[in-house]
Amino acid sequence: MNFQLYNNTNIPDDEDIGVSGSGTINSMILSQLVPEEYLFDPLNAEPTLDNLREAAIQYAKQQILLDDGTNVNNNDSNRDGNDTDDQVISGWESTKEPSKVKKAENKALKELLDAAEKDVHVHLSRIKAVLAQDPKLLETYKRDADPDILSRRKRLEEMQEQRRELGGQIQSILNGLTESLDMNSPSKQPKHQGPQGQGQGQGQESLTQASIVERRLLSWTRALELYIYDSGENVVLGGESNNKNGDGNSTSATAMAATTAASAKNLTMNQLLQHLCLASVTDDEETMTQALLQASKMTSLHLERTSKLLEDAVEETASTLQSYHIHLIAHSIAAQTTMKKTGDIQNKFLNHGKEALKIGHALELEEGKRYQSEHASLLLKRWWMMENLADQENASGETIQVHEEVWGVIPSSSCKLDPLFTRKENSVEAAKALKSLRTIVKCRSNVAKNSNGGKILLENGQEQGGVNDSALATKRFELTGTLIQRTSAELEQRLLNTFSEIYSEGGTYDFSSVLAGKRPGRLNWIMLREVAEALMSFDSGRSLLKRYVALVVSIKFPELYTRDEDNNDTESMEEKSAEEDIDGTRSKLSSLFHRVCEVCTEEFKLIAHVFSPSLPEHLQESTASNNKPKSVVNWRASFPESFALQVTRGLIKRLISDPKNGMQAHINGLLESIDRKGDFDSGAKKLDTFVVVHEKAAGLFHLLKEAAQKMWGIHDAAASKNLISANGFSDSSDGQLFNVQSTSALIQFLTTQEMALSNSQRQGYLNLELRLLHHHCCATLDRSGGKLLGPIRTKEDSIRNSVVPGGLADYRAPIMPLDQDSIRKKGFAALLNGLLKQSTLRQPLIHATDSLARARLMFGSGSGGGGNVNSTARVVSTIFSQMCNFYGLSYLYPIVDSLGAMLATTAPNTPPSLPFDESLPPHDLGVDGNFWIIIERIHSAAKSFDRELWAENRTGSVRVWEILVQTRSQTSLTLGKERRIRFFQELEERGESAILRALDALSAHIHWVLVIGGEASSRGTNSGNRRDGPYAVPTGSILDSTNSPAVKALTYCLRSQFVHVQAALTPQSLSAFWTALSRRVYDILVARLLQYYKVSTVGAVVLSRDVEALRSVCMLAGNDHLHWDTLRELLTLYMTPPDSLKTMLVGADGDANSGKGMFGRVGKDQSIVFMSRRIDYRYRTNQGLKKSQWAKELLDELGVNDPTDGRVNIANYAAENITLT
């Protein structure tokens, strides 16, 4: 193969080149013949594509010649002498035949691909020449004769042949590998047969250890080859080839082949080594080493072979990749040329298409003008006919019997009117013709008169006629118009009568086909559709709409929508309905709503088939497939697109919103009949009626919306949205799109009607709900013996009155608190058995939860249950606020305030009779035990109020918190939380006031028992001076009891009181209360002791016992009783001799400032003040009390002043000021 690239280059022979300098000379020659990049990196050099580039230029020229269609001659004087261009172009001739053009294009593409192949060959020859340093390979290289490629192909064929062979022997190889595993086992070795067994043991021979190892290695070698060269893909082919000579059972062979392939794929190198090692377990070490050595050699050989195959694959891939890239460039050139030609064709198509579109529009315009001319001509003929009849009627004086002729009373042959108006089969055409004639009549002023004063101008400009001719023309026009109006009125009435007759016949609604309406027992909806289409020519179908709605109302609802002129009968019916119970009301409303739903569902389908401009798709297909008369198969009508929607809305408005006979009117009548009684039982019945109406209405409108979606066969809302958002509709899809839009509009209209029906009842319901809730709550208190005061005015009422009304609820429940004087007079027992009974406390909550449930039904349940969430939130907040006002201001607050006034805060004037008889009930110390029971009841009632109404974080409770969370109204939720917190805060403050008053009462009675009673009891005993108190017991006195009578009686009463307090208060409140009581007891005892009592040594023992008894009682609850411990330590000052007091006060060091002793723990002043109450600290003289000598000496030694020399502030030594270090 000679290439132009090498024509002018002389390559020397091998003989002309010396051996020593042959390499340098070859390199120099190659550097002149081969591009430079091949010399540096031949394997990665980019091909130059000289042939492909030249072929691409010629290909482009050929495509231009084919497109232009010009003739090309071989001997053109204008050519530049390029022989290659002459040879390429000389064979082309212009032609317009598609077959020749296609052949020429295929030939050009073939030449382009041949050039690409030449470039591939040049690229490979350059690579080989550079690698071999042999310039002759540039001319002599042939790919098919390349020894490297041939050897590579040979190795590939050998490997594929080996894979096919292994694929057919997979099962035998695997079996042989398994058998070789136990070949050394005695059960697996061949047995030696004797002379008798030679026939049986033929073909078997004794195997030595070497032969076993050899066979084992042979099996393992085949398995290794299978692992390396075959992955299981060829096993099916082997199975199929083996099955050709078998029994033909291809199914079993395929299954076996699949199993074998799976086994081959699961074979791993670890398994091969495991087989080799386990098979050599019984061999000696030398045999095993030999086997492993041979296995290693075989593995190395296979590794070298696979490496060579991998190198071959890499080289083949690189060569194929370069060829693919070059051919891809050739195809890209052809594709780009084709795309350019396609764009030119598209541009021509668009230009020619625009011209064709203009021609089509012009033809349509001319066709429309022709149709208008024909229609005008026909209209003029009919006008002249009617004008002629009007002239004859006027001239003869005989009136044309239009009614009789149009209604068919007079035979058609005797009629004066045109058969178009007298025959029923021409109703649609007659109606359209009369509509056009009436349009002319409406333009009478423009036709009968012109701008020339009523005179008609001739073509030459002369006036024809005058006043007489104009008056005559006007009269004729009026007579003709009158006749047209009479004919139109009679035809419209005849059509309305026909429509009523067909509909009144009734029958099942069958829309399965266009012929189904003519079957017996079916409604002839096709005839209804034709009559309705004719009636659309009269006042745009208004009479048709009224007649249809009236027919539906009168036929479908005769007992519910019949006007009764007798008012007395109406009132008697309302009184009768008022006597019905709620079940009767529910049954009546259920039957009404069910019938409305059933009728509307059927009528929606009838409206869609009768009043729509086109029939549904399934009926259109049936009319197109059947060969029927035009009157039957005509599925297009002249209805407006929105007329079916207008009819549906008119029907719904008449059934629901009719002021006298609609559903709303019947519901209002039912509610008004309940209102005539005027009692609260009627109000409860009306409330239940509200709920029933709302429930039934919601179900009705839900079913009506479903029926509206199925009205035009639209069942999927998502598909409807997709249809609306799509573009490019055909005629049928345009109609479907409008049906979807009509359905959406109808559903929106139904939603509006539902809201109007519901909102008209919701405000009345809510006002009645709040009124009855307040009544039931107040009635509960009244039945329990409570006396309610008149309404009081609060700050919230002033704010409400200043706000402009217009919300949902106009009713505001008045706050009517319980009479506190009545509560105080009746006492604690009456409270527990009346106002604070469990049933009384629970009943208002039951009424409130019922109100919440009804409100949820009336206004919706929030985001998941529909409804207006804002209205729901406001209604629930209003109910909760009203209940907080009632349960607090009207109910619990007055009771708590009355408790404090019912306590005896002042003790009796007479001392108690001590000791108390413990067989009798203990003294209540001014606080009745029922007081604490009432406190516990009120606390439980508050918790029940929060649990039953608010119910925070109780999912599924359907209470205030959950409903407000579902509505997602943060404002209402925040207001509800604030109202709840305010309710409990105020109740807690009032409760604390009552408990503090109880603490005061207890304190007063403790002073009465401990001080007054103790001092009174000490007067009758031998206890020394009466002025020194009960603890100035003389030395040597005998103690009758462990405690004084007053302390014994007080602890007995306090322990009894503790039982009631513990049951009433929470642990935290009990601790705080009892700690406060402990301090009160301490303060009473210490204040009396420091002011009036003196303590002797014997009395100190009694005092210590009393303090211990009081301390044990006070420590029944609470954890802050440090003051009693301090007092116990101070009592030791009364039991210690005077000479030991110094050590006790300051410690063994004797230093008053050392911080030791009682001075350090209790304090100097407090220790000295308590020590001053010793009976021997002062003695009486005629000049008054004087300090003992030992006291003076002690104070002087300590270097402290005596606080008791002046006025002592007892408050400094109260329990709250006690600190112990």
Strand 463-464 versus strand 456-457 pairing type: antiparallel
Answer with the residue of higher pLDDT: 756 or 1142. 1142
| pLDDT tier, 400 (very low <50, low <70, confident <90, very high otherwise) | confident
Q: Looking at 37-51, 178-192, 628-642, 1141-1155, which range is the least confident one?
A: 178-192
Given a cut of 70, is residue 896 above it in pLDDT? yes
| pLDDT tier, 3 (very low <50, low <70, confident <90, very high otherwise) | very low
Judge residue 16's burial from the number of C-beta atoms within 10 Å of its C-beta, 0-12 exposed, 13-18 middle, 19 or more buried. exposed
Answer with the residue of higher pLDDT: 606 or 562. 606
647-700: pLDDT as tens digits: 888 888 888 877 777 777 777 777 776 665 555 566 777 777 777 777 777 778
Give how far the C-alpha of residue 767 lies from the chain's centroid of Cα atoms, to the nearest Å. Answer: 34
Q: What is the pLDDT of residue 796?
A: 58
User: Phi and psi dihedrals of 1111, rounded to 5?
Assistant: -65, -40
How far, in Å, are 1072, 1076, 1112 from residue 1069 at the CA level?
5, 11, 19
Residues 876/852, Cβ–Cβ less than 8 Å = yes
165-180: pLDDT as tens digits: 777 777 777 777 676 5
1114-1133: pLDDT as tens digits: 999 988 889 999 999 999 99
d(CA 905, CA 450): 112
d(CA 1089, CA 154): 129
Given a cut of 80, is residue 816 above it in pLDDT? yes
Given a cut of 60, is residue 762 above it in pLDDT? yes
Of the chain, the percentage scoring pLDDT greater than 90 comes to 20
Given a cut of 90, is residue 161 above it in pLDDT? no
Given a cut of 60, is residue 632 above it in pLDDT? no
Answer with the residue of higher pLDDT: 696 or 965. 965
d(CA 25, CA 162): 46
Q: Looking at 207-211, 342-346, 811-815, 1060-1064, which range is the least confident one?
A: 207-211
Q: What is the pLDDT of residue 802?
A: 41
- The closest of 510, 538, 542 to 525, measured between CA atoms, is 510
d(CA 876, CA 688): 18
- What mean pLDDT is predicted for residues 333-338? 84
0.85 exceeded by pTM: no
Residues 739/709, Cβ–Cβ less than 8 Å = no
- What mean pLDDT is predicted for residues 866-873? 73
518-575: pLDDT as tens digits: 888 888 888 888 888 888 888 888 999 899 888 888 888 776 555 444 444 544 444 5
Q: What is the mean pLDDT of the chain?
A: 77
Give how far the C-alpha of residue 457 lies from the chain's centroid of Cα atoms, to the nearest Å. Answer: 78
Partners of 1179 in the β-ladder: 1186
| pLDDT tier, 97 (very low <50, low <70, confident <90, very high otherwise) | low
Q: What is the pLDDT of residue 23?
A: 64
Given a cut of 70, is residue 278 above it in pLDDT? no
d(CA 1048, CA 1013): 11
Answer with the residue of higher pLDDT: 412 or 1066. 1066
| pLDDT tier, 231 (very low <50, low <70, confident <90, very high otherwise) | low
Q: What is the pLDDT of residue 715?
A: 47
Given a cut of 80, is residue 236 above it in pLDDT? no
| pLDDT tier, 817 (very low <50, low <70, confident <90, very high otherwise) | very high
Answer with the residue of higher pLDDT: 1211 or 236. 1211
Given a cut of 80, is residue 888 above it in pLDDT? yes
Residues 225/162, Cβ–Cβ less than 8 Å = yes
Q: What is the pLDDT of residue 936?
A: 93
| pLDDT tier, 242 (very low <50, low <70, confident <90, very high otherwise) | very low
Given a cut of 60, is residue 600 above it in pLDDT? yes
Given a cut of 70, is residue 827 above it in pLDDT? yes
| pLDDT tier, 892 (very low <50, low <70, confident <90, very high otherwise) | very high
d(CA 473, CA 468): 9
260-272: pLDDT as tens digits: 555 555 667 777 7
Q: What is the pLDDT of residue 714?
A: 53
Angle at 408 (CA atoms; ends 406, 410), nearest 5 degrees: 100
Q: Looking at 677-681, 765-769, 883-887, which range is the least confident one?
A: 677-681
How far, in Å, are 300, 476, 885 from residue 447 at the CA level?
116, 12, 80
| pLDDT tier, 237 (very low <50, low <70, confident <90, very high otherwise) | very low
293-313: pLDDT as tens digits: 878 888 888 888 888 888 888
Q: What is the DSSP letter of 1153?
A: T
Given a cut of 80, is residue 580 above it in pLDDT? no
d(CA 534, CA 36): 93
| pLDDT tier, 879 (very low <50, low <70, confident <90, very high otherwise) | very high
- For residue 162, what are its two tokens? 């080996």
How far, in Å, are 52, 109, 257, 327, 342 from residue 338 at the CA level?
18, 11, 49, 17, 6
Given a cut of 60, is residue 14 above it in pLDDT? no
| pLDDT tier, 1055 (very low <50, low <70, confident <90, very high otherwise) | very high
